[in-house]
């Protein structure tokens, strides 16, 4: 009888081991399926055209669709003129770097927001809006965080960026350019070394949040500018 009991115990233990192994396999399979479903989607999207007839390449990154070029428009979507500048007042810079807009111009005097989505149309084409800082952060997190996302966003090489253009790969086709900015004191600066991008988020009435890329870093930082400074704009789809 003791021998029978021992055999039964051994068989029971083996059965439990088999069942446990099968459950682990099923769990792993489910996790693998989830991982496949959560893979980041990066692909070209349909171009968008602004009021002036400028056409922009766009890129889908996760659940967001971004312009892959800086805004060039001189009118709001309803045809009202918008105040803007080109770097060094040289119109040839518009074709490469786009135009520069102050806070009141690109926001069209709407209140700041850090919602995701922000839904401030401002100077954006119909169906698009100015990204909030939270929307930028979603993009950054999708690309691995602040320390490496800048390099993935920057155009690679030295055609426009000055050396060393640290970490630049442009692996998602965002093609961020060192378009510089206009300081409200009357000075243009940063062409070739710095890229500022507008957000719809403000720290205070005197400081507007931006996202900043530099030629000597692979990171993307959050900075602040005066509302009368003029900077480039990238829009995100509603």
> Which strands make up the sheet holding 42-49, listed edge to edge?
42-49, 55-61, 64-67, 236-237, 128-129
Q: In what order do the strands lie in the sheet with 207-214?
A: 194-204, 207-214, 221-225
pLDDT tens, residue by residue, 1-55:
444 444 444 444 444 433 333 333 333 333 333 343 357 888 888 999 999 999 9
Residues 216 and 164 in one domain: yes
**Domain span at residue 67?**
42-237
User: 28 and 97: one domain?
Assistant: no
Residues 23 and 99 placed together within one structural domain of the fold: no
111 and 192 together in one domain? yes
**Is the same domain home to 188 and 200?**
yes
Q: Are residues 80 and 161 in the same domain?
A: yes
Per-residue pLDDT of the chain (238 residues; tens, 9 = 90+): 444 444 444 444 444 433 333 333 333 333 333 343 357 888 888 999 999 999 999 999 999 999 999 999 999 999 999 999 999 999 999 999 999 999 999 999 999 999 999 999 999 999 999 999 999 999 999 999 999 999 999 999 999 999 999 999 999 999 999 999 999 999 999 999 999 999 999 988 889 999 999 999 999 999 999 999 999 999 999 9
Q: How many domains does the chain have?
A: 2
Indicate if 188 and 142 belong to the same structural domain.
Answer: yes
pTM for this entry: 0.82
């Amino acid at each position: 009888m003791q021998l029978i009991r021992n055999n039964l115990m051994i068989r029971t233990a083996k059965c439990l081991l088999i069942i446990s192994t099968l459950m682990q396999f099923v769990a792993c399979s489910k996790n693998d399926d989830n991982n496949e479903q959560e893979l980041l989607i990066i692909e070209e999207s349909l171009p968008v055209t602004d009021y002036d007839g400028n056409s922009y390449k766009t890129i889908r990154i996760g659940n967001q669709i971004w312009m892959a070029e800086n805004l060039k428009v001189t009118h709001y979507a309803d045809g009202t003129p918008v105040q803007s500048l080109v770097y060094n007042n040289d119109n040839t810079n518009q074709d490469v770097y786009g135009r520069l807009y102050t806070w009141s111009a690109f926001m069209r005097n709407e209140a700041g927001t850090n919602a995701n989505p922000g839904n401030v149309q401002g100077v954006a084409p119909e169906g698009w809006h100015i990204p909030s800082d939270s929307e930028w952060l979603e993009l950054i997190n999708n690309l691995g965080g602040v320390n490496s996302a800048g390099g993935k966003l920057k155009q690679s090489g030295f055609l426009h960026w000055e050396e060393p253009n640290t970490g630049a790969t442009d692996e998602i086709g965002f093609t961020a350019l060192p378009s510089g900015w206009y300081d409200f004191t009357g000075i243009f600066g940063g062409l070739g070394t710095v890229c500022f991008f507008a957000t719809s988020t403000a720290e205070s009435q005197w400081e507007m949040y931006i996202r900043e890329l530099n030629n000597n870093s692979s990171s993307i930082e959050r900075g602040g500018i005066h509302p009368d400074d003029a900077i480039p704009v990238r829009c995100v789809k509603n």
